Structure 1
Amino acid sequence: MSRRIGLFGGTFDPPHVGHLALAECAREALALDRVVFMPAGAPPHKRGRALSPAAARLAMTRLAVRGNPAFEVSAWETRRPGPSFTVDTLRWLARRHPGARLWLVLGADSLDEFPTWHRPHEILGLASLAVGARPGARAGGRGAARAAHAAPRGARRGMPRGRVVWLGNPPLDLSSSAVRARARAGRSIRYLVPDAVARYAERHGLYRAARGGGA
């Protein structure tokens, strides 16, 4: 039986409990053997926003997933030059896990942007999409996942049916930008991020100065 691998990419600046809840929901709903968290090196859709150093984002993500044997963190995107295109990462993951069934885990807002991504149809040839619910959206009927017809209309254009699954995750209204804003304002981020992540960010002074928007 082939392995089932989920790829979960993002800046993870910082990783928060919403990321972890979505990854765990995908793991459970899709019977994934592994969820690979992939901090982005140079995300094309976030050009112009200063990111925390890659080493810091990697360290925080490793701290966030610690204790879950099904989660791992890869530094592949942060170590390669140029933009971090998901299609390239999926090709790398397919070579690393030959014969595995691949899933790309992402939020509903990212699904809205999917048609503008680099080579989206090639992405769909490599992996199915597992999409987390957005706040205020109905997570779907019975079971933890539903079919692609529930995806946002704009994101459905050109997508083959059956390649998108809508996850029944708790739709937490939380973003990395909101966490950064609270930290910059001197407010507690406890319970929004794992304690180890909060301690790391505080110890390294990551969010004391404004870094701009983004999630």
Structure 2
Amino acid sequence: MKRLAVKTLIEKSVQDMPQLSSSRKKKRVGILGGTFNPPHLGHLIIAEEVADQLGLDKVLFIPDSTPPHVDHKAAASAAKRKAMVELSIAGNPRFELNTCELDRGGISYTYDTLQELRLRHPDWEYYFIIGGDMVAYLPKWHKINELVKLVHLVGVARSGYPKKSNYPILWVDVPLIEISSTDIRWRIQHGCSLKYLVLDSVIDYIRKEGLYRV
């Protein structure tokens, strides 16, 4: 299907969502949250594809403080994860770092983040981007029934995961690039190349700071 036709179908799906206004007068803002431990090219590709296909004005990259839905893992400090996100999105005027969850501290609940963002920018319309692997966990999310009234949930297809949910999901197809922060940390520990998986500036930062060696 041609990209123009895809955009038409996506915009129609957004307009059909009853919970939220889809007024084109509002600034359309995507949200990509995560630990970013470290951020990689997969994150950037997803953000760019969703922004392009949905016609978003910008995408906020929001590193979490303490993620509620992942197993405990050794993570770089908040300051270093923030620095790596800044390096990753530099040069793309549509990408922007937002530190509201780092500033707030504690467990990072999406509902609380959306409440804060809507208070600061009530004229923005929000699109929260999640991977297809996370869609199955939506019933366990904090105040999920209230959350879906505040934001459009944008599902990014992942191989091996069905594109279905009991919640309103706006599905966007992006290139299936199997890059994960877990794999990158493993590569660092085993001395493997990160070329073409992480931006060179981030690779240099990881080496300089000695991150993920143990």
**TM-score range, shorter-chain basis?**
0.7 to 0.9
Q: Count matched residues.
A: 190
Equivalent in the alignment of 2:153: 129
Equivalent in the alignment of 1:49: 73
1:95 pairs with 2:100? no
Quote the sequence identity (%).
Answer: 40
Equivalent in the alignment of 1:188: 193
1:34-89 Cα shifts (integer Å, max 9, x gaps) = 10000010101125222110000000001000110010011111121321000011
Q: Is the Cα–Cα contact under 8 Å of residues 157 and 163 in structure 2 kept in the other structure?
A: no
1:205 pairs with 2:210? yes
Quick one: distance in 1 between partners of 2:53 and 2:181? 24
Quick one: distance in 2 between partners of 1:136 and 1:48? 24
Quick one: distance in 2 between partners of 1:121 and 1:62? 32
Letter of the aligned partner of 2:163 in structure 1? Answer: A
Superposition deviation, residue 122 in structure 1: 1.4
Using the size of structure 1 for normalisation, the TM-score is 0.84
Equivalent in the alignment of 1:37: 61
Using the size of structure 2 for normalisation, the TM-score is 0.85
1:61 pairs with 2:66? no
Letter of the aligned partner of 2:186 in structure 1? Answer: A
Superposition deviation, residue 136 in structure 1: 5.8
Quick one: distance in 1 between partners of 2:120 and 2:31? 12
SS of 2:134's equivalent in the other structure is helix
Give structure 2 stretches of 5+ with no counterpart.
1-24
Quick one: distance in 2 between partners of 1:117 and 1:96? 23
